[in-house]
Amino acid sequence: MQLAHEDNLRLNVLFAQPVQAIRIDESNLTLYALTPKGEAKIRLNPTTRDEQYLRWIREWLSLKVTGSPGGYPVFLRRWTRTGHARNNLEQMLLLGEPEAIVAVVHNPELSHDLARRAWWAYPNADTARRLLEKSVVVQGELGKELVAYLIEFLPFEEVALDIVDTVRLCLQGELLDGSEREKLWNRAKRKNAFYVGFLHADAAHIPLPVPAHPLAVSIRESLSELLAANNPFANVLEHTLSEGGQKWLQALLLALDKPTDQEVVISLFRAIQKRFNVPFPEARGVTIEVALMRADEYCQGVGTPEALVEVLQVLPREYQEYLRSILVLAQLGEDSLNPIFGGSDAVGSVMRKHLEPLTKMIQQAAKALLGK
């Protein structure tokens, strides 16, 4: 490893002070450092091929930071991107290796300060999304900066599932105000994936003029004791008929209108599974035929979970059709798509044709709960 004398000198001077993060611009052969005093930069002077010289620079950084020239094992890409890296996070930010920064970003124990450094070191849309998955970032100053970046980048986002994630993450807490959420919602008219992002977020953020169900108050009164006892089936019925629940169902109908991508449809079904999260003795994600059969059996007292029996005992019979529709939706999930997507890579209108038997029943259940 033979670094240029001036580079070696400048690097040693740089590390004579506290360094918070390192970023290397390979195209311009420039090393940037984040320090308590601000940003410093070193223009590199290669003594060999650029690629080899950058490898030597990273070996120097690794030796300086960790005592070993081995650097960060980039072949561990998948493992570290699932948050399993338990290295010293501060050291990993100093290696000048993008994959090491990615591993830091995926770590669930990330602090706001380390998140700020990681964002400086590797600012791109995926880094922003992964950082916004951390509550400490959402609640801190960095959160709004990341959201502003993602909103500005959205028109250039080509991957539909990344649009879903971006919308979902930007809608957390108060990162966007009401007018900004409405602008985001209006984009959904051109790209279906935006609707799915809203389905994953707080229903209160869906800017639709949809009131609570006309029978919401009456049914809530019938379920008052069970709601006080935190009965899960009573909770989901009351929640679905509320203003937020009705907005969510209307957004679901819009999302089901013209999906174009399998990954987005899978995300949509994950949102359904999360929304109607009630305790069933069987696994979630059954076929629509099984969901319809079980919903009928449960309402008739066949294998009915005890908490559901309690609801059926106090809910007037004329309101039980609403509960049945919820029971249908509550049994669906990502695995409901296996018979349709298994072995098929269809997209667009062909995919929608295959999905029609499933989506039609979901639309019927949603419309029944909306009183349509």
pLDDT in tens, 90-100: 999 999 999 99
Place of tokens 């502003």: 148
**Residues with Cβ within 8 Å of residue 149, at least 6 apart in sequence:** 123, 125, 128
Residue 6 has pLDDT above 70, yes or no: yes
What is the structure's pLDDT at 371?
Answer: 82
Query: Cα-atom radius of gyration of the chain, to the nearest Å?
Result: 26
Q: How does pLDDT run across 19-50, given as a tens digit for each residue?
A: 999 999 999 999 999 999 999 999 999 999 99
Residues 184, 167 contacting (CB under 8 angstroms)? yes
The CA–CA distances, whole Å, from 33 to 12, 21, 120, 315 equal 13, 6, 10, 65
Residue 280 has pLDDT above 70, yes or no: yes
Q: How does pLDDT run across 143-160, given as a tens digit for each residue?
A: 999 999 999 999 999 999
pLDDT tier for residue 16 given thresholds of 50, 70 and 90:
very high
Q: How does pLDDT run across 299-320, given as a tens digit for each residue?
A: 999 999 999 999 999 999 999 9
343: alpha, beta or left, given left = phi > 0 and alpha = psi -120 to 50? left
Residue 2 has pLDDT above 60, yes or no: yes
The 3-state DSSP class for residue 8 equals helix
Residues 19, 34 contacting (CB under 8 angstroms)? yes
d(CA 12, CA 154) in angstroms, rounded, equals 41
d(CA 107, CA 84) in angstroms, rounded, equals 7
The CA–CA distances, whole Å, from 243 to 126, 175, 230, 270 equal 33, 22, 20, 22
Compute the average pLDDT of residues 166-170. Answer: 97
d(CA 370, CA 372) in angstroms, rounded, equals 6
Compute the average pLDDT of residues 128-133. Answer: 98
Compute the average pLDDT of residues 273-295. Answer: 89
d(CA 276, CA 232) in angstroms, rounded, equals 10
Q: How does pLDDT run across 73-125, given as a tens digit for each residue?
A: 654 544 445 444 445 899 999 999 999 999 999 999 899 999 999 999 999 99
Ranges of H-type helices in 77-192? 77-80, 89-92, 98-106, 112-121, 125-131, 135-138, 141-153, 160-170, 178-186
Does the pTM of the predicted model rise above 0.85?
yes
Portion of the chain with pLDDT greater than 90, in percent: 85
Residues 143, 246 contacting (CB under 8 angstroms)? no
What is the structure's pLDDT at 73?
Answer: 65
Residues 313, 263 contacting (CB under 8 angstroms)? no
**Residues with Cβ within 8 Å of residue 326, at least 6 apart in sequence:** 233, 236, 237, 240, 276, 365, 369
> Where do the structural domains in the chain lie, given as residue ranges?
5-122, 124-207, 216-369
Compute the average pLDDT of residues 348-352. Answer: 94
What is the structure's pLDDT at 1?
Answer: 66
Residue 293 has pLDDT above 70, yes or no: yes
What is the structure's pLDDT at 261?
Answer: 92
Question: What is the bridge-based pairing of β-strands 38-43 and 21-25?
Answer: unpaired
d(CA 214, CA 208) in angstroms, rounded, equals 17
Portion of the chain with pLDDT greater than 70, in percent: 95
**Residues with Cβ within 8 Å of residue 87, at least 6 apart in sequence:** 103
User: DSSP code of 42?
Assistant: E
CA triple 127-153-28, angle to 5 deg: 65
Compute the average pLDDT of residues 2-27. Answer: 96
Strand partners, 34: 21, 39
Indicate the residue type of 288. Answer: I
Q: How does pLDDT run across 187-212, given as a tens digit for each residue?
A: 998 899 999 999 999 999 999 999 99
**Taking every pair of C-alpha atoms in the chain, what is the biggest distance, in angstroms?**
86
d(CA 3, CA 66) in angstroms, rounded, equals 19
Is the model more confident about 227 or about 72? Answer: 227
Strand partners, 40: 33
Residues 324, 220 contacting (CB under 8 angstroms)? no
Residue 139 has pLDDT above 50, yes or no: yes
Strand partners, 38: 35
